[in-house]
């Protein structure tokens, strides 16, 4: 707070609300006429200012500018960007609309008997509308998880944190080190090629979590995460295993029981949508657009 960078700022910092590998996020208030609350994300760039702004930071700002043009209600809005010198290095400051909480904190305070079906439908509809917008504009989020899904006091759902997001094409080289482990699609865990369907897998994990109030797959290594997944969805056929994966097919991962329901506590309609979101083969995974037309979400 005593940093001179803030002294000439257009924002009054009220509280620190988050911290990541590259900087901190603050709740702030505009000092001008509007006096609106904002979230200020301050990224710290290395000690050598001559090295410039890292590519991933430029990419995040460029993507936010691109999608911000459309002003989609289910994607967090970037309001301002500024860069400033400090000793040593640079600061890049991103200013976003302020949203009260994320889905993770919301779920942590949910009643023990769970969320109502109407609330689950509402959250998933908005989340999938945001994903459909991103995917239509060839943007993969690549790190969808409850703490990157914001939920306002008015019930608005907004996708946030585009630090790992990418524009995708048919021939892009993509890193396997994306998506927090518990929400990571099998093709990413298997170090195979992937597309926007990785976001649908993550959305399916979130869908299950809205019912369970806890993550569906909680592994602590990539292999353990795969085992957790196969315990629920079953081991896929060898023909569906990515040929380029360095991880070999292991029949020992097959679960003993055979069931058509992923989660016995869900009804047939809910399980059907979850099953299509969590299809092992990404080509068979439902799109955000089609998921919105699924009977569970399209109905009242």
Q: At what angle do helices 197-212 and 117-136 cross, to 10 degrees?
A: 170
- The answer, as to whether pTM is greater than 0.75, is yes
Query: Which CATH number is 101-298's, of 1.10.510.10, 3.40.50.620, 3.40.50.12280, 3.30.300.20?
Result: 1.10.510.10
Q: How many CB atoms lie within 10 A of CB 219?
A: 17
Q: How many CB atoms lie within 10 A of CB 41?
A: 24
Beta bridge partners of 38: 28, 97
Phi, psi of 44 (to 5 degrees): -95, 125
- Position 46 scores a pLDDT of 64
Closest among 262, 158, 286, 160 to 208, alpha carbons compared: 262
Sign of the CA dihedral 69, 75, 79, 81? negative
- Position 225 scores a pLDDT of 93
Q: Domain 11-97: what homologous superfamily?
A: Phosphorylase Kinase; domain 1 (3.30.200.20)
Same fold, 11-97 and 101-298: no
Coil, helix or strand at residue 248: coil
Gyration radius (Cα) of the chain, Å: 20
- Position 277 scores a pLDDT of 97
- Position 21 scores a pLDDT of 62
- Position 251 scores a pLDDT of 86
- Output the tens digit of pLDDT for each of the chain's 300 residues: 444 345 447 888 899 888 766 678 899 998 877 788 999 988 777 655 556 666 777 777 888 888 888 889 999 999 988 876 665 667 788 899 999 899 999 999 999 888 999 999 999 999 999 999 999 998 999 889 999 999 999 999 999 988 777 777 654 445 555 557 899 999 999 988 888 999 999 999 999 999 999 999 999 998 899 999 998 998 888 889 988 888 888 888 777 665 556 788 899 999 999 999 999 999 999 999 999 999 999 876
Residue 41 assigned as binding residue: yes
Phi, psi of 132 (to 5 degrees): -60, -40
- Residue 149 CA to residue 123 CA, distance in Å, equals 10
- Position 175 scores a pLDDT of 53
- Residue 245 CA to residue 282 CA, distance in Å, equals 14
Active-site annotation, residues: 143
- Position 119 scores a pLDDT of 96
- Position 41 scores a pLDDT of 86
Domain ranges of the chain: 11-97, 101-298
- Position 68 scores a pLDDT of 83
- Position 35 scores a pLDDT of 84
């Amino acid at each position: 707070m005593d940093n001179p960078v803030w002294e000439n700022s257009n924002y009054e910092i009220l509280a620190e609300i988050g911290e990541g590998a590259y900087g901190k996020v603050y709740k702030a208030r505009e000092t001008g006429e509007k006096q609106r609350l904002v979230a200020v994300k301050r990224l710290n760039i290395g000690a050598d200012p001559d090295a410039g702004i890292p590519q991933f930071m430029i990419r995040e700002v460029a993507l936010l500018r691109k999608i911000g043009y459309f002003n989609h209600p289910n994607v967090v809005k970037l309001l301002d960007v500024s860069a400033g010198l400090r000793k040593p290095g640079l600061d890049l400051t991103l200013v976003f609309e302020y949203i009260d909480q994320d889905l993770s904190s919301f779920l942590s305070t949910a009643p023990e008997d769970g969320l109502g079906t109407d609330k689950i439908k509402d959250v998933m509809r908005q989340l999938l509308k945001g994903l459909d917008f991103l995917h239509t504009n060839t943007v993969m989020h690549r790190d969808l998880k409850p703490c990157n899904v914001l939920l306002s006091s008015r019930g608005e759902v907004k996708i946030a944190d585009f630090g790992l997001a990418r524009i995708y094409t048919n021939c892009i080289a993509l890193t396997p080190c994306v998506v927090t482990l518990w929400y990571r699609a099998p093709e990413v865990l298997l170090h195979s090629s992937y597309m926007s369907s990785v976001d649908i897998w993550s959305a399916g994990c979130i869908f299950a979590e809205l019912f369970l109030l806890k993550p569906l797959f909680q592994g602590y290594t990539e292999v353990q995460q795969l085992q957790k997944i196969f315990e629920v969805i079953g081991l896929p056929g060898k023909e569906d295993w990515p040929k380029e994966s360095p991880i070999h097919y292991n029949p020992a991962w097959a679960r003993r029981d055979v069931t058509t329901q992923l989660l016995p506590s869900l009804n047939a309609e809910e399980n059907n949508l979850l099953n299509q979101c969590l299809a092992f083969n990404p080509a068979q995974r439902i799109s955000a657009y089609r998921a919105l037309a699924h009977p569970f979400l399209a109905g009242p």
